[in-house]
């Protein structure tokens, strides 16, 4: 994996939300100036595009006399990301019928412009400078020869997003539709998608249902977390149940993804801060069993370990490799029969991971 932590080139980035746009400049995997915040104006296309161009102009003024090498940022889909064309967005309704945002910025600023999904860039950032290298460093420290090259990132927040990194390379898919985990089936209600059980609205909805409240009156996930921890008044049983239900649905969706990718799992997003309430249940779901005709077998071919639990992390880092003899030879080879994956929380912070991912993605594309 190419590293850019000492690169002097500057890339302008944007965190595009439904309410605000947050602009920043990255150099050597770090922000180098104060972020600029402008309203998204998501229902008015001209105002929205003007604010996008204004944000990048203000960043260019902040870094002057230096010049950016590229613009690279996350923007909601659906989109044709390689072409820089944004499609019909739910939270930014002004984008209808296809808006070539990338080409517009290239014409304005005379630098390459790269746009990706936030889940993809989150996973890429954690694979470059976050969870994946940290796990490999811990393995090396324990003299464990095992190393990981693949990672799946999941974001839990307004929605349920995902991104996949294989051998250090981001996997966008042929239609810019890789990692769309929000469209997996909901384990507890197969008539709907997983995101309806793994999101801010899902947690609030379960709490409201338990307490017989209107959804509009339900507290925020942060408050529900504090209620569950006994840190503020409320229905503690309902609060615990809300996160437990989310964990079961998320754990099933993550398991489905792991069967295809077989890599480390990192979780970010606004809900990830409440991981003490749900991470162990996600791992429990991943390690559950199928029962077919009275016979049970593991849900996954690999065993998942909670990397935020010190005991599980210790077991994960221990090497189970042993020497076995090569038939018809005096030679011996190492064999580890135990297949393990670690599941942990973002080490960079979600927004920072997206920025790092955007920075490295742009430079790696420029460098070919």
Give per-residue pLDDT as tens, 212-221. 999 999 999 9
Find the angle CA(279)-CA(282)-CA(284) to the nearest 5 degrees.
Answer: 110
Question: 4 vs 166, 339, 363, CA distance in Å?
Answer: 18, 31, 8
Find the angle CA(270)-CA(182)-CA(268) to the nearest 5 degrees.
Answer: 25
Entry pTM: 0.93
Taking Cα atoms as reference points, which of 201, 182, 200 lies closest to residue 192? Answer: 182
Question: 130 vs 123, 277, 345, CA distance in Å?
Answer: 9, 22, 10
Q: How confident is the model at residue 89 (pLDDT cuts 50, 70, 90)?
A: confident
Question: Rounded to an integer, what distance in angstroms lies between the CA atom of residue 242 and that of residue 286?
Answer: 19
Count Cβ atoms below 10 Å from residue 120 Cβ, excluding itself: 29
List domains and CATH numbers for the chain.
10-117 (3.30.420.40), 131-347 (3.30.420.40)
Q: Which two tokens stand for residue 101?
A: 């945002």
**Cis ω on the peptide bond leading into residue 78 (within 30° of 0)?**
yes
Strand, coil or helix: 362: helix
Strand, coil or helix: 114: strand
Contact 51, 41 (CB under 8 A): yes
Task: Give the pLDDT score at 91.
Answer: 67
User: Which string of b and e fits 277-286 if b means at least 16 CB within 10 Å?
Assistant: bbbbbbbebb
Q: Which two tokens stand for residue 363?
A: 């430079």
173: left (phi over 0), alpha (psi -120 to 50) or beta: left
Q: Burial of 132 by CB count in 10 Å (0-12 exposed, 13-18 middle, 19+ buried)?
A: buried
Taking Cα atoms as reference points, which of 303, 259, 268 lies closest to residue 159? Answer: 268
Assess whether pLDDT exceeds 90 at residue 78. no
Helical (H) or strand (E) element with 125:
helix 118-129
What digits encode the pLDDT tens for the residues 279-330?
999 999 999 999 999 999 999 999 999 999 999 999 999 998 899 999 999 9
What digits encode the pLDDT tens for the residues 142-200?
999 999 999 999 999 989 999 999 999 999 899 989 999 999 999 999 999 999 999 99
Q: What are phi and psi of 114, to 5 degrees?
A: -120, 135
Task: Give the pLDDT score at 32.
Answer: 94
- In this structure, are strands 340-345 and 303-306 parallel, antiparallel, or unpaired? parallel
Query: What is Dmax (Cα atoms) for the chain?
Result: 75
Contact 230, 210 (CB under 8 A): no
For the chain, the 3-state helix, strand and coil shares in percent, each to the nearest 5, are: 40, 25, 35
Question: Rounded to an integer, what distance in angstroms lies between the CA atom of residue 223 and that of residue 216?
Answer: 14
């Amino acid at each position: 994996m190419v590293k850019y932590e000492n690169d002097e080139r500057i890339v302008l980035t944007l965190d595009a939300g439904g309410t605000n746009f947050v602009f920043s400049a990255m150099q050597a995997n770090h922000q180098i100036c104060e972020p600029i915040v402008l309203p998204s104006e998501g229902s008015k296309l001209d105002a929205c595009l003007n604010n996008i161009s204004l944000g990048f102009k203000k960043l260019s003024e902040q870094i002057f006399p230096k010049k950016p090498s590229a613009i690279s940022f996350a923007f909601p889909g659906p989109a044709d990301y390689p072409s820089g064309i944004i499609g019909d967005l739910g939270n930014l309704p002004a984008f209808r019928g296809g808006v070539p945002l990338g080409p517009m910025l290239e014409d304005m600023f005379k630098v390459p412009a790269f746009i990706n999904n936030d889940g993809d860039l989150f996973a890429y950032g954690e694979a470059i400078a976050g969870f994946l290298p940290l796990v490999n460093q811990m393995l090396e420290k324990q003299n464990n020869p095992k190393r990981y090259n693949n990672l799946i990132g999941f974001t839990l927040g307004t929605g349920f997003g995902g991104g996949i990194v294989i051998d250090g390379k981001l996997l966008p898919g042929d239609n810019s539709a890789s990692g769309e985990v929000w469209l997996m089936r909901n384990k507890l209600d197969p008539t709907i998608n997983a995101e309806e059980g793994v999101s801010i609205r899902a947690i609030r909805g379960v709490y409201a249902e338990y307490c017989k409240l209107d959804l509009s009156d339900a507290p925020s996930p942060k408050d529900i977390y504090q209620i569950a921890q006994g840190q503020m008044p409320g229905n503690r049983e309902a609060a615990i149940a809300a996160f437990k239900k989310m964990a079961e649905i998320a754990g099933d969706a993550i398991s489905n993804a792991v069967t295809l990718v077989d890599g480390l799992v990192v979780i970010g997003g606004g809900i990830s801060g409440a991981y003490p309430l749900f991470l162990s249940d996600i791992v429990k779901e991943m390690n559950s069993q199928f029962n077919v005709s009275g016979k049970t077998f593991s849900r996954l071919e690999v065993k998942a370990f909670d990397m935020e639990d010190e005991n599980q992390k210790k077991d994960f880092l221990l090497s189970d490799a042993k020497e076995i003899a090569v038939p018809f030879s005096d030679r011996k080879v190492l064999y580890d029969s135990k297949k393990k994956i670690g599941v942990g929380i973002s080490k960079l912070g979600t927004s920072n991971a997206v920025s790092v991912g955007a920075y490295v993605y742009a430079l790696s594309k420029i460098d070919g």
